[in-house]
Amino acid sequence: METNPAEVSQSDLVSDIKQKQHFTGKVIKITLAGAIVDIGSGVPGVVHISQIQKEPVKRVEDVIQVDQMVDVWVRRVYPKKNRIDLTMIKPLDMEWGEMKPEMVVSGKVTRLEKFGAFVDIGAERPGLVHISELTHDYIKTVGDVVKEGDTVEVKILEVNRQKKQIKLSMKALQEKPEDMVKTVLTGKAKEKEREREKAVEAEPEEKEEPIPTAMEIALRQAMERKGVGNMGDFAAKKKRKNERSDDLEGIFSRTLKNRVATK
């Protein structure tokens, strides 16, 4: 059985469409169950009557008309069936199953209370930043840190789908005061270390004294036992002794010569 090239092309186009993708389409048909909308994909999308608006709809034509341009979002895609399910109700940016602890998201502050601030992160309900999670610093009121309408960055701490609760934190994204102190102290320690290294480099190098030989060590020990001073004193005394010996030999030689001459 041959495959229709047009069907292959349509299937490829449908497979490229992603969930929650936004389109502006034209209503081309109305039925009791909903409406058919052309979104320019080659395959018309289907909007069920329950997806036309949040409020219940009794008759489709009471809300939309043929040839009307409407905003729609993709709910599900069936590439093999060449079918696209659409919705006219804007989907949530963050579904319950998509939210995980440690995720960092942006949101808008919608309400302030004594115990904290509510932040809309695009979920079914706003999340709560407790007053203790606003900052590491001491504050008297929530308004000291945020105002309604502020866009803030928060970290998700906990998600409870049953209770419809989302716990958020701004403090978790801020540097701890003790970490800041450590950073400053570390910087000062490194600076002092660099100064010490420079001082050491500037000092003149000390000449190393030659290591004495075994014979010199033995000689020094012998001189110490005899009460002789250091090697320098010993050498000087030996030199003076040799000089006196040379003088005596000279006198003795001259005396002999004089005696021979008188004979």
pLDDT digits (tens, 9 = 90+) for 206-233: 555 566 676 777 777 777 666 655 555 6
pLDDT digits over 86-107, tens only?
Answer: 999 999 989 999 999 999 999 9
pTM of the entire structure? 0.54
Q: Which of 1-10, 141-150, 169-178, 249-258 has the highest mean pLDDT?
A: 141-150
Count CB neighbours of 27 within 10 A: 20
Mean pLDDT over 131-141 rounds to 94
User: Can you name the CATH fold of 5-87?
Assistant: OB fold (Dihydrolipoamide Acetyltransferase, E2P) (2.40.50)
**8 A C-beta contact, residue 75 and residue 51:** yes
Annotate 79-90 with b (16+ C-beta within 10 A) or e (fewer). Answer: beebebbbbbee
| Whole-Å CA distances, 3 to 6, 8, 195 | 9, 7, 79
pLDDT digits over 140-196, tens only?
Answer: 999 999 999 999 999 999 999 999 999 999 999 998 887 655 555 566 666 777 777
Superfamily of domain 96-173, CATH level 4:
Nucleic acid-binding proteins (2.40.50.140)
Locus of tokens 């929650």: 20
Q: pLDDT value at position 138?
A: 92
Q: pLDDT value at position 216?
A: 72
Give CA–CA dist 171/106, Å, rounded.
14
Task: Work out the pLDDT band at 1, boundaries 50, 70, 90.
Answer: very low
User: What's the mean pLDDT when you consider all of the chain?
Assistant: 82
More confident residue, 246 or 102: 102
Task: Work out the pLDDT band at 197, boundaries 50, 70, 90.
Answer: confident
Residue 114 has pLDDT above 60, yes or no: yes
Mean pLDDT over 108-126 rounds to 96
Residue 5 has pLDDT above 60, yes or no: no
pLDDT digits over 18-58, tens only?
Answer: 889 999 999 999 999 999 999 988 888 999 999 999 999 99
Q: Which residues pair with 112 in a beta bridge?
A: 117
Quote the tokens at residue 169: 């934190």
Lowest pLDDT segment from 5-19, 129-143, 210-224: 5-19
